[in-house]
Amino acid sequence: MEKIGILTGGGDCPGLNPVIRAVVRKGYNEGYEIMGIKNGWKGLIEGDYMKLDLASVSGILPKGGTILGTSRTNPYKKESDIQKVKDNYQNIGLMGLIAVGGEDTLGVAVKLINDGIITNIVGVPKTIDNDLSCTDYTFGFDTAINIATECIDRLHTTAESHHRIIVVEVMGRHAGWIATEAGIAGGADVILIPEIPIDIDEVCELIRRRHNRGKTFSIVVVAEGAHFKEGSMIIQEDKVDEFGHVRLGGVGEILGKEIEKHTGYETRISVLGHIQRGGSPTAFDRILGTRFGIRAVELIKEKKFGRMVALSGNKIIDVDMKEATKALKTVDMELYKIAKEFFG
């Protein structure tokens, strides 16, 4: 039996296990043996893997996270690791590899193909930020916005009871998809995203306008990667991960203090953080992950390597993985314009 490998890299998100399950079940039907590479690219560096059969994926459809584990390992940080990746790919006996991840994980896949290290790779787009190009949606995003929306709903009642401003910080490093869609769905009064610098005077004016109408509370949703005019992103520490990313966080705290200082209204901050990543995937993400996994195996069978599965409308298609990772997909300004219609 020919062997196909699958790995999940980068941040975890709901929907990874449905992809793994679909790959195993489709692979079994096509006569392939599926090998699960543990902890993303780290597993291929260390030769850490497990055989996946129907029994091993039974019952994982509703589970969040990934049974294979994940890491933010970049094999290009050490020259010796690239050779280990190549050697272990061959030692496991793989004829193809399915890489499930976001811009960093799939960016490594593209580089391995271009460098001739491993050429038989197909990609599956995963990120709660929904910022990968060439696909309408990535799985994990729908679950994240549903969780964020529920949290915003709950914060409405306490904000109204105490006549407070509540700043809700959600994830979104370079793209504010979560903030925009959860903010619209949750009825936020102000939505702030990385694509548009924060104008604190405008924010405070919107809040004052609400108070003048007799609304003594407001909900402000801000993406973690949002920044103030003539400023940079707010970070927790200068240390970077293996892909050069700093740890973001803190914009909500600073924003809350500025709002309280400028308006005099009592302000509280709620940082949703990894809550958005956890728990059971929505029905949409389970179905999308399943469809992605099935198509990924079909691409391997068709030897259409260097491709990434994608959603276009309601169709599952495949696109050039290099094109999909070339630039991030930022928020559609038409959608943000809709959000602004209800600001203040």
CB atoms within 10 A of CB 107: 21
| 12 flagged as catalytic | no
Helix (H) or strand (E) holding 56: none
Distance CA 311, CA 30 (A): 23
| DSSP state string for 117-181 | S---EEEEEB-TT--BTT-S--BTHHHHHHHHHHHHHHHHHHHHHHT-EEEEEE--SS--HHHHH
| DSSP state string for 66-85 | -TT------GGGSHHHHHHH
Give me 68's structure tokens. 């294979």
Strand partners, 89: none
Helix axes 177-185, 141-162, angle to 10 degrees: 50
Among the options 12, 81, 104, 129, which is catalytic? 129
Distance CA 133, CA 110 (A): 14
* Cβ contact 5:125 at 8 Å: no
Give me 3's structure tokens. 């062997």
Q: Which residues are catalytic?
A: 129
